[in-house]
């Protein structure tokens, strides 16, 4: 009985993580076009801004499309999507830490990256 309860508990955990990493990237990605939740440009590392071949708002819209696609991949294939989201969040965190810019957000993104990585690992065992 405990094995069945453990399996069900693991499945519930996976479903919660999966819902989180489908909804959050899609909502954040869509918001890159509207800036209703925040003005996303402020989170760009100032060193990166000077290297961009496009405006910051155009760059953030490209980022938004990538985030929406990542959320859809999580929906379709949580294991692959989890690794993509984990890598994406880690890259964002590192870009903020390099300039010691929004370190609180960087730490939060690293925690979310660990959660996405955990989701990917769990999904490997739950089919």
Residue 26: pLDDT band with limits 50, 70, 90: very high
């690794």: which residue's tokens?
A: 83
Spatial separation of the C-alpha atoms in residues 97 and 31, rounded to whole Å: 23
Q: Give residue 46's pLDDT.
A: 85
Query: For the whole model, what pTM was predicted?
Result: 0.90
Q: Which domain holds residue 115?
A: 2-125
Give the max Cα distance, the chain: 59
With 90 as the cut, is the pLDDT of residue 110 above it?
A: yes
Domain count, the chain: 1
SS (H, E, C) 54-119: CCHHHHHHHHHHHHHHHHHHHHHCHHHHHHHHHHHHHHHHHHHHHCCCCHHHHHHHHHHHHHHHHH
**Percentage of residues in the chain with pLDDT exceeding 70?**
98
Give 127's pLDDT tier (boundaries 50, 70, 90): low
In angstroms, the CA 30 to CA 8 distance is 33
């Amino acid at each position: 009985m405990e094995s069945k309860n453990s399996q069900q508990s693991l499945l519930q955990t996976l479903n919660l993580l999966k819902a989180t990493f489908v909804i959050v990237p899609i909502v954040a990605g869509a918001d890159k076009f509207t800036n209703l939740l925040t003005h996303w440009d402020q989170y760009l590392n100032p060193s990166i801004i000077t290297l961009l071949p496009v405006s910051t708002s155009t760059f953030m819209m490209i980022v938004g499309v990538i985030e929406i696609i990542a959320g859809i991949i999580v929906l379709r294939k949580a294991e692959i999507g989890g690794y993509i989201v984990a890598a994406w969040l880690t890259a964002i965190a590192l870009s903020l830490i390099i300039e010691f810019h929004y370190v609180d957000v960087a730490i939060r993104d690293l925690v979310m990256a660990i959660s996405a990585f955990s989701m990917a690992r769990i999904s490997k065992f739950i089919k």
